[in-house]
Structure 1
Amino acid sequence: MMTSLQHQLSLWIAVLIVAVSVVAGSFSFWLAFDEAHQLQDEQLRQVAALMDVHDLLPMPDRNGRAVNDYPDARVFIFRLGTHTNAKQTELQMVGLLNNLADGMQTVSDRQSEWRVVIRTLPNGDRIAVGQRTAMRDEIARDGALRTVLPLIGLVPLLILLTGFVIRHTFKSVMRLSKDLDEKGDGNLVSLSNDGIPKEILPFVASINRLLKRLALSMAQQRRFIADAAHELRSPITALTLQAENIERADMPIEARQRLAPLKSGLIRARSLVEQLLSLARHQSNQTTDFEIVSFDIIVRNVIKELYPFAEAKHIDLGIEQEEPLQVWGDAFDFFTLTRNALDNAIRYTPVNGKVDVSFFLEGNQMVFRVEDSGPGIPEDDLSRVFDPFYRIAASGETGTGLGLSIVRDIATRLNGIATLSNINNAGRSGMRFQYSQSSCRTRLDC
């Protein structure tokens, strides 16, 4: 299962933020709740003290109204002692308070719980200043919630900011990933350390060492292929010439029949050597000393060169659509690309078949297209035809399997796109090769 370090960090930090916020919020709520109760107790003491300093008396009972008849009142003052005109509920409350000593007390009657402070006045009267604990708790709860609400509101914002900071921090890692994805076998330059966190620098250094070893290995491989192809070129050419000389000599029919496969094998070997040399040359040539090339002229020259081979198979080879095209690149690369594409089309098109060539502008893109009437390629093999030495087993044609691999390397070097697809139009089948890249008339246009 693929895991994302960025997502894991974001998730765990978000969980920790929520957990810490819950603990901090609960603690802040408890502190604010307790402090509100202390303030309310102090308020009761101050009211009781005012009764002493200003010689105030509790509000007399009017019309027999009881405590429950003042639902909006927050502080009640009771005169302790005997009150014949008080209601039953108030008598019960006074009776509870008469037996208590002076100071802060918590008492409960049959209906509610009270927080009261009892005080003896200078004239000997005793009073009780009290609040219902339910009202006290409601006031304290509201105050505590107002204290915690800003913290609750900051939690989502903090999570979002944390995610943003993590994504910003991982931008350098994503840039490294993008740089690695864009590297091909011809671009194994070391990764830059600019802007990379020091914790990731050892990893980047390891990747750079790996890239150097890979570049060295590929260079040795290309050099071996080029050296081997070069060493084989001369003896194969000599053997081919000897076979042609022997063919001109008088010999029995049986010997001549045996000579034909030998000559055919030498021709295939020589073609393989030439393709290997071409592959090594294009892979080792990483220069960007490009110029403006007339692509349409190159295509016409390639058609002229390959026309005899098409004519030998009675293939209708022609240009279906054409436009003057100026492209930025290397003329030899374009020549090799178009020749390999046309050579494959002619090679795999049956006798009396057809090969159409088109080169035109599509927006700001140059498009080179070759369509043939051959048998096509199985869909399972389409993804591998650009691999070196890969050939379709049931094709029945000779070849090296390097032509399209060379085309892919050239397309990569020219920043172009080469594709191969089957033609499945009604009443028509075959293959479609297409190459496209930016078209330009000056270097600045590219």
Structure 2
Amino acid sequence: MRGGRSLAGQLMLWITATITLLWLVAVGFGAFVMHDEFGEIFDSALQETAERLVPLVVDDLRHRDEPNAPLRIEATRGPSEEEYLTYQVRDETGRVLLHSHTAPVDPFGAPLKVGFWEGRKGRIYTAATLDETIFVQVQDSAKERREATREGSLALLLPVLLIVPLTITAVWFIVRRVLAPVETLRAAIGEKDGGNLAAIEAVGLPQELRPILRSVNLLLARLRAVLAAEREFTSNSAHELRTPIAGALAQTQLLLSELTDVPERARAQQIEASLQKLTKLTEKLLQLARAEAGIGMTENTFDVADVARVVVTDFQRASADAGRIRLASDLAAPVLHEGEADAFAIVLRNLIENALLHGRADAPVDIHLTGAGDVRIRNGAPRMSDEELAAVRKRFARGRTLAAGSGLGLSIAERLLGQMQASLVLTSPIPGMPDGFQAEIVFPTRS
């Protein structure tokens, strides 16, 4: 599916196309009007020239003997100068008596009738004496008329080629400024997720966007209420389940101490194992509820090494696999990260517990604090594919293992680390080794 087109881009495209089209229409209309005006000017000059030539030509003919051939008026201008008007003087029979030096000897095609006539080579105006015995026909060049219209149209078009880009630039600047509140609102909505559902402030938004903002804030309020109810239910359920489960487990263990018959004792041991599994699941649900409540989002800081030492010490005291846990540190000084120490302790507990449960029983669990303050937890395990690494990140998902577990540990850890702006990187095999599993906590670089 292709991404949606930009609103600013569509506005720019349509406004640019509209402005360009309007300018071209204006130039075309101007050229049309200019063509008519030029025609009137040329016609006026043509008529005036012909009428002024009539008395001059009649006077000249009176002082000449009647020629046998048409007289050619010699040019007084240079050979490089272009002549725009040509003329012929004809008698009533159509015979050419005089003609300009560039006019043809053969008569023009125009009839001997006063007025305008449109020819293939140009427009002709015919003027005559009162007795209509002498006719003067003046012709201008159609090429010159077309050239005048073309040059005038170019004179209109050339400024447009400069004005249109300037107009588009101005429109782009205005559109960007006008749509800036839309971009601000889009960015504010894009920042919202499960850990940030606060209402968006209507600062500087135009009236058209305020209904949208109101609807978004109402939706965020409903989401906050739904998530709060879900978290409260999960937390309360976990708390309420703790006491009866602990009581049932204690009674079962007391019963085991009193039973001597093997069949009944085996069934009681199964009940004890189920209750212990339920206790661990309840603890995970309580951790998940706290993670969903956003306990990792705080302005406090914690020392990575201090929290890691406390968690490792707790495991070494309470776990039967205490000898497998090894802690190493490259830190030369305390490294502080933003977040809640309790939330980070939950992350470490879940990752170390996963390493102990799902790693090979004869392999150590190495906890390494890097010089940058990151944490790497490694354990021996068969090599996992990329698909398996992606699958174990899902809630209630478990890899190829028969060990007890709920499939919530990695999900809880990722949720809490996300609230602390950190990330969890899972790698298999361990870099530089043929197999194994590594969970690395990467904190953002401190400036």
TM-score (norm 1): 0.82
- Asked whether the 8 Å contact 1:275–1:403 carries over to 2, the reply is yes
Aligned mate of 1:142, from 151, 170, 189: 151
1:275 and 1:53 map into 2 onto residues whose CA distance is 119
- Asked whether the 8 Å contact 2:73–2:98 carries over to 1, the reply is no
- CA deviations over 1:98-132 (Å, ceiling 9, x no partner): 6121x4x1243xxx422133334799964333202
Matched residue SS, 1:92 = coil
- CA deviations over 1:291-327 (Å, ceiling 9, x no partner): 3422112112222222367763863634264443222
* CA pair 331-361 structure 1, distance change in 2 beyond 3 A: same
Equivalences for residues 22-101 of structure 1 within 5 A? 22-48=24-50, 51=53, 61-62=72-73, 72-81=82-91, 82-83=95-96, 90-93=104-107, 96-97=109-110, 99-101=112-114
- Asked whether the 8 Å contact 1:247–1:259 carries over to 2, the reply is yes
* CA pair 427-30 structure 1, distance change in 2 beyond 3 A: same
2:145 and 2:237 map into 1 onto residues whose CA distance is 97
Is 1:342 aligned with 2:352? yes
* CA pair 221-360 structure 1, distance change in 2 beyond 3 A: same
- Asked whether the 8 Å contact 2:316–2:322 carries over to 1, the reply is no
Equivalences for residues 305-320 of structure 1 within 5 A? 305-307=314-316, 312=321, 315=324, 317-319=326-328
Aligned mate of 2:289, from 261, 277, 280: 280
- The amino acid of 2:32's aligned partner reads W
- Asked whether the 8 Å contact 2:329–2:370 carries over to 1, the reply is no
- Asked whether the 8 Å contact 1:323–1:359 carries over to 2, the reply is no
- The amino acid of 2:33's aligned partner reads L
Is 1:396 aligned with 2:402? yes
> Identity over aligned residues, as a percent?
22
- Asked whether the 8 Å contact 1:419–1:433 carries over to 2, the reply is yes
- The amino acid of 1:291's aligned partner reads N
1:216 and 1:38 map into 2 onto residues whose CA distance is 81
Aligned mate of 1:428, from 420, 424, 434: 434
Is 1:372 aligned with 2:379? yes
- The amino acid of 2:439's aligned partner reads F
Consecutive unaligned residues of structure 2, counting only runs of 5 or more, are 62-70
1:37 and 1:88 map into 2 onto residues whose CA distance is 23
- Asked whether the 8 Å contact 2:86–2:102 carries over to 1, the reply is no
Displacement of 1:374 in angstroms is: 1.9
* CA pair 57-249 structure 1, distance change in 2 beyond 3 A: farther
Consecutive unaligned residues of structure 1, counting only runs of 5 or more, are none
* CA pair 57-351 structure 1, distance change in 2 beyond 3 A: farther
2:221 and 2:41 map into 1 onto residues whose CA distance is 74
Q: How many residues align?
A: 427
- CA deviations over 1:375-431 (Å, ceiling 9, x no partner): 35553343454444x221642121222222222232222222223232264642222
- CA deviations over 1:356-376 (Å, ceiling 9, x no partner): 2222244xxx32221222235
TM-score (norm 2): 0.82
- The amino acid of 1:93's aligned partner reads P
1:157 and 1:397 map into 2 onto residues whose CA distance is 71
2:286 and 2:170 map into 1 onto residues whose CA distance is 58
Matched residue SS, 1:433 = strand
2:386 and 2:102 map into 1 onto residues whose CA distance is 99
Q: What is the aligned partner in structure 1 of residue 338 from structure 2? A: 328
Aligned mate of 2:235, from 226, 232, 236: 226
Q: What is the aligned partner in structure 2 of residue 113 from structure 1? A: 121
